Amino acid sequence: MSHNAESTAFRSALEVIRAVEPRVADAISAELADQRESLKLIASENYASPATLLAMGNWFSDKYAEGTVGRRFYAGCQNVDTVEALAAEHARELFGAAHAYVQPHSGIDANLVAFWAILADRVESPALKKAQKRHVNDLTEADWFALRRELGDQRMLGMSLDAGGHLTHGFRPNISGKMFDQRSYGTDPATGLIDYDKVAEAAREFRPLILVAGYSAYPRKVNFRIMREIADSVGATFMVDMAHFAGLVAGKVFTGDFDPVPHAHIVTTTTHKSLRGPRGGMVLCGPELADQVDRGCPMVLGGPLPHVMAAKAVALAEARRPDFADYASRIVDNAQALADGLLRRGASLVTGGTDNHLVLIDVSGYGLTGRQAEQALLDSGIVTNRNAVPQDPNGAWYTSGIRIGTPALTTRGLGAAEMDATAELIHTVLDRTTAGTGPDGAASKAKYVLDPAVAESVGKQAADLLTPFPLYPEVTLG
Ligand code: PLP
């Protein structure tokens, strides 16, 4: 029996892996089966193309390539140069950026590269100059103390975690919170929207070195022109982390004031969320910061991942095609259809809706915590994640919110009708779930009660919803 190229490629790869460690081959096959069966509404996930996935599974993985294109610390990097230059070129063209640095291994790395580039650009620090010239492992304790002394009190203003900001924007559990003196801006308690006057006020009071915009759980557009004006008014460097919505920028859904690239001094992103590439990060900037950004390795990063840069080049080439713009606008149409469907059924949504790829349900209206809701939905075949809502009384662990996003289901081809059906399934589960009690009879934030028959019926309907939209239809593993 003959197979198409994708099936042949993945089947052959599995056969080769199976000969060495069959349990890994089985886990890879099982992962595809699980992903095919689940209604994936995780806002930060997607399904990369077979070409993107295959670009990662090869001998580029074996290569060390510290340095930049044409200036490596290792010999024999000519082919790595080719893919890194291609990925950077596609990124520059796609986003209209003067410079692209495609080495960061992840979003957190991209942010660290950006922070150090800004520090090096803005702060006179002999210790930093020394650190940039040496490998991290070669720095002594005294060097680190000097760095801390000279850089330790720099300020960052970013969006608060409970308003939808990200850990890497200066919060304690992340290294950024230890590097910077951080303060955050939230959202208006009545509307849930960013209040730009309040951001300006906070900036005037705090006078940050860096103003950060960007989010993981804010369901609206951000006006980057206004944010840049605020940054300029206090002499801050304006950084945008577009990890979540890079696909909407690439697909020209976010343009003008809502496109961060022309407004920010520096833009960071992941490549694996709405952009639909391999797991990784990227930094875009103008010529002023380019040299400092290119010092990301070895300042923050070890050797780049050439196989992932190859996959970034493939995915970015895909994102430059006209059909990606159509995909990006369908992501938002779907999120709005999902939001409308939930609102019509009585759900309460943070900001009352969405104009990007994500929706944040305040599940306290159903008498549940985010944790209870997340588990009940999972029992019913619907994969989401719990998330804090602004001023969340249940904190970041239990939360009062469920974050849902449409990039993945849109890749599968689901549209507005299926979003409405999805809203019905989500509402049914949340409506039929009640908060449980602990062994002592006290109210629990984790335990919940959901009739297994309801979970089973919703699970079956969720599976039926997916049947006409097979995931990776071009791949049959046998
Ligand atoms: N920035 C934002 C806004 C994110 O949402 C995330 C991940 O969720 C990151 C950065 C970190 O990305 P990574 O998990 O690739 O390090």
pLDDT in tens, 24-75: 999 999 999 999 999 999 999 999 999 999 999 999 999 999 999 999 999 9
With contact defined as beta carbons under 8 Å apart, do 408 and 47 qualify? yes
Whole-number average pLDDT of the chain: 95
Residue at token pair 């989401």: 384
Closest protein CA for atom 2 of ligand 1: 243
Q: Per residue in 441-462, pLDDT tens?
A: 888 999 999 999 999 999 999 9
Catalytic-labelled residue, pool 109, 162, 241, 259: 241
Give residue 441's pLDDT.
86
Q: Rounded mean pLDDT of 254-268?
A: 98
Statement: residue 2 has pLDDT above 80: no
Ligand 1 closest atom vs CA 214: 3
Q: Looking at 103-107, 171-175, 206-210, 284-288, which range is the least confident one?
A: 171-175
For 156-197, the DSSP string reads EEEE-GGGT--GGGT-TTSHHHHHSEEEEE-B-TTT-SB-HH
* Averaged pLDDT, 271-288: 98
Substitution site in 102, 216, 249, 273 for ligand 1 pocket (most atoms within 8 Å of beta carbon):
216
The mean per-residue pLDDT over the stretch 174-191 comes to 92
Average pLDDT on 231-252 reads: 98
Task: Give the pLDDT band (50/70/90) at residue 178.
Answer: confident
Residue 246 has pLDDT above 70, yes or no: yes
Residue 66 catalytic?
yes
Integer Cα distance of 398 and 394 in angstroms = 6
Cα dihedral: 163, 166, 171, 174 (round 10): 160
Burial code (b: 16+ CB inside 10 Å, e: under 16) for 354-374 equals bbbbbbbbbbbebebbbbbbb
Contact (Cβ atoms closer than 8 angstroms) between residue 55 and residue 74: no
Distance, CA of 361 to CA of 117 (rounded, Å): 37
How sure is the predictor about 150, in pLDDT bands with cuts at 50, 70 and 90?
confident
Whether 381 has a pLDDT exceeding 80, the answer reads yes
Task: Please say if the pLDDT value at position 359 is more than 80.
Answer: yes
pLDDT value of residue 140? 87
Q: Which atom of ligand 1 is nearest to the CA of 44?
A: 8
Distance, CA of 429 to CA of 373 (rounded, Å)? 8
Structural domains in the chain, sorted by start: 59-154+225-319 (3.40.640.10), 322-466 (3.90.1150.10)
DSSP H helices, 279-405, are 287-293, 296-299, 306-319, 322-344, 370-379, 395-398
Is the beta carbon of 166 within 6 A of some atom in ligand 1?
yes
Grouping H, G, I as helix, E, B as strand and the rest as coil, residue 125 is coil
Token look-up 């001023």 returns 391
Query: From its phi and psi, is residue 204 left (phi > 0), alpha (psi between -120 and 50) or beta?
Result: alpha
Q: Report CA(442)–ligand 1 centroid distance (Å).
A: 36
Q: Name the residue of 42, 46, 103, 108 whose CB sits within 8 Å of the most ligand 1 atoms, as the mutation to test its pocket.
A: 108
Residues 6+ away with beta carbon under 8 Å from 323: none
Q: Provide, rounded to the nearest whole percent, the portion of the chain with pLDDT above 90.
A: 88
Q: What are phi and psi of 194, to 5 degrees?
A: -65, 130
Beta carbon of 106 within 6 Å of any ligand 1 atom: yes
Look at residue 152 in the predicted model and tell me its pLDDT. Answer: 72
Closest CA to 290 of 416, 114, 32, 461: 114
Find the distance separating the first CA and the last CA of the chain, reported in whole Å. 11
Does the pLDDT at position 77 exceed 70?
yes
Reported as a single tens digit per residue, the pLDDT across 458-470 is: 999 999 999 999 9
Three-state DSSP class for 212? strand
Least confident of 109-123, 172-186, 401-415: 172-186
C-alpha 242 – ligand 1 centre gap (Å): 9
The structure tokens 């943070």 sit at: 350
Cβ–ligand 1 distance for 214 under 6 Å, the answer: yes
Considering only CA atoms, which residue is closest to atom 7 of ligand 1?
107
> 405 alpha carbon to ligand 1 midpoint, in Å?
15
**CA 297 to ligand 1 centroid distance, Å:** 19
Q: How confident is the model at residue 330 (pLDDT cuts 50, 70, 90)?
A: very high
Res 222: pLDDT: 98
Mutate to test the pocket of ligand 1, among 168, 218, 266, 387 (most ligand atoms within 8 A of CB): 168
